[in-house]
C-alpha cells in the first residue's frame, strides 16, 4: 500500500494544499434555508462533496456534526467519506480520538482499516493519554497506508494551558512533535504522521521540522490569515495544509459558488513554502 505521505504529496502537487472542512453546523443549515434534520444534513454535506471533492486535495469532515444525528447521521458521514474519495479527494476525518491502547486499537479498526465502512485516508488523534497510547493507530497507518494527524498546538485559545506546559524535555507540544519527527524519519517525500498546528496560535519556539504534514485549522473563520501561515510555520510551511470550514461553506448552497470559494482558498495558499 502506498504510504499516506506519498499519496498526500501527489495530491498536493496535482490539486494544491487547501483543505475544505465539511462541517454541517446547525447555523449553516439554517443559512442555506435547510431544516435541522438528517435529510438536510445529507443534502448539505453531499452538495459540498459535489462542489469541492473533485477539485481540492483534502476534505475534512468533522465527525461531531454527523454524530449529533445518531446512526443516520453517521450513515451520511459514510457517504461523505466514500463519495469524496470517489471524486479524487483524500479524506481526513476529524474525530480526535485517543484512549488506552486496547481501545485505540478499536479506533484504528474503525477509521483506518479499509474494510471498515468509516475508513478514511487519515484521522485526527489526541495524544493526551500519552503518545504511546496511539501505537495501534500508528501500526494501522503502516499496515494500510493511512495517515494520522496528532494534536500539538491547536487553534483554540484554551490549548496553551496544556500544550505549552513544560514536560521532561521541553513543552508537551514539543514532545508530541518529537514523536512525530521520529515516526517520519527517512520518509520521502514526506511522512504520514502529521501534527495539528493552528493558524491562530501565538508565536512559539517549537521545532516544526518533523518531515511530516501539518493540518492547519483556524484559517478563515477563526481569524487565521496567510500572513499567520508564514509567521507560524516559516520554512516548515512546505507541508502545511490550511483548512477552512465555515468560511467556504457560507458560499453555499450554490455548487458553483462553493467550488469557486474552494478554488479561491487554494489560490491564496498556492505559493506557501514553495
Ligand atoms: O485545533 C483545532 C483542531 C481542529 N479544529 C477543527 O477544524 C474545524 C475548523 O472550522 P472553521 O469553521 O474553519 O473554524 C472544525 O471542524 C474544528 O473542530 C479546529 O478548529 N482547531
Q: Convert the pLDDT of each residue in 70-81 to its tens digit.
A: 999 999 999 999
Among 217, 223, 240, 261, the mutation site with the greatest number of ligand 1 atoms within 8 A of its Cβ is 217
- How many residues make up the chain in this entry? 274
Listed as own residue / partner, the contacts of 260-268 with beta carbons closer than 8 Å and 24 or more positions apart are 262/18, 262/20, 262/51, 262/52, 262/55, 262/56, 263/55, 265/18, 265/20, 265/220, 266/15, 266/16, 266/17, 266/18, 266/55, 266/56, 267/16, 268/18, 268/226
Q: All 3 cell numbers of residue 180?
A: 512525530
**Which residue puts its alpha carbon closest to atom 18 of ligand 1?**
62
User: Cα dist. 201→44, 50, 164, 231, 248 in Å?
Assistant: 30, 32, 11, 10, 21
pLDDT at 271: 83
Continuous segment of H or E residues that includes residue 193: strand 193-197
Ligand 1 site residues, Cβ closer than 6 angstroms: 21, 23, 62, 94, 154-156, 196, 198, 217-218, 220-222, 244-246
Q: Convert the pLDDT of each residue in 216-253 to its tens digit.
A: 999 999 999 999 999 999 999 999 999 999 999 999 99
User: Cα dist. 252→28, 50, 185, 255 in Å?
Assistant: 9, 12, 41, 7
119 backbone φψ class: left, alpha, beta (φ>0; ψ -120 to 50): beta
- In this prediction the pTM is 0.98
Average pLDDT along the chain, 274 residues, taken 10 residues at a time: 97 97 98 98 98 98 98 98 98 98 98 97 97 98 98 98 92 98 98 98 97 98 96 95 98 98 96 72
Determine the Cα–Cα distance for residues 36 and 228; give it in Å rounded to an integer.
34
**Catalytic residue chosen out of the listed positions 96, 142, 164, 238:** 96
pLDDT at 194: 98
**Which residue puts its alpha carbon closest to atom 11 of ligand 1?**
245
**Which residue puts its alpha carbon closest to atom 21 of ligand 1?**
155
Active-site residue, 157 included? no
**Which residue puts its alpha carbon closest to atom 15 of ligand 1?**
62
pLDDT at 274: 57
ipTM above 0.95, yes or no: yes
Amino acid at each position: 500500500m502506498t504510504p499516506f505521505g506519498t499519496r498526500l504529496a501527489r495530491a498536493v502537487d496535482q490539486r494544491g494544499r487547501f483543505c475544505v472542512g465539511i462541517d454541517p453546523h446547525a447555523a449553516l443549515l439554517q443559512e442555506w434555508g435547510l431544516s435541522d434534520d438528517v435529510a438536510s444534513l445529507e443534502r448539505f454535506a453531499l452538495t459540498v462533496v459535489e462542489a469541492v471533492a473533485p477539485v481540492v486535495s483534502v476534505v475534512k469532515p468533522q465527525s461531531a456534526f454527523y454524530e449529533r444525528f445518531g446512526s443516520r447521521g453517521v450513515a451520511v458521514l459514510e457517504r461523505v467519506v466514500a463519495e469524496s474519495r470517489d471524486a479524487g479527494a483524500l479524506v481526513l476525518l476529524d474525530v480526535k480520538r485517543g484512549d488506552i491502547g486496547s481501545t485505540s486499537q478499536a479506533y484504528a479498526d474503525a477509521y483506518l482499516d479499509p474494510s471498515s465502512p468509516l475508513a478514511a485516508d487519515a484521522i485526527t488523534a489526541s495524544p493526551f493519554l500519552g503518545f504511546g497510547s496511539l501505537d495501534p493507530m500508528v501500526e494501522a497507518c503502516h499496515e494500510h497506508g493511512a495517515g494520522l494527524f496528532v494534536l500539538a498546538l491547536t487553534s483554540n485559545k484554551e490549548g496553551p494551558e496544556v500544550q505549552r506546559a513544560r514536560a521532561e524535555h521541553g513543552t508537551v507540544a514539543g514532545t508530541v512533535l518529537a514523536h512525530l519527527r521520529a515516526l517520519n524519519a527517512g520518509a520521502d517525500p514526506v511522512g504520514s504522521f502529521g501534527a495539528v498546528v493552528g493558524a491562530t496560535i501565538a508565536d512559539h519556539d517549537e521545532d516544526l521540522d518533523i518531515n511530516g504534514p501539518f493540518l492547519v485549522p483556524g484559517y478563515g473563520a477563526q481569524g487565521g490569515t496567510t500572513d499567520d501561515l508564514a509567521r507560524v510555520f516559516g520554512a516548515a510551511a512546505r507541508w502545511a495544509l490550511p483548512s477552512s470550514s465555515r468560511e467556504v461553506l457560507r458560499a453555499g448552497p450554490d455548487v458553483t459558488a462553493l467550488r469557486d470559494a474552494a478554488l479561491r482558498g487554494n489560490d491564496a495558499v498556492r505559493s506557501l513554502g514553495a
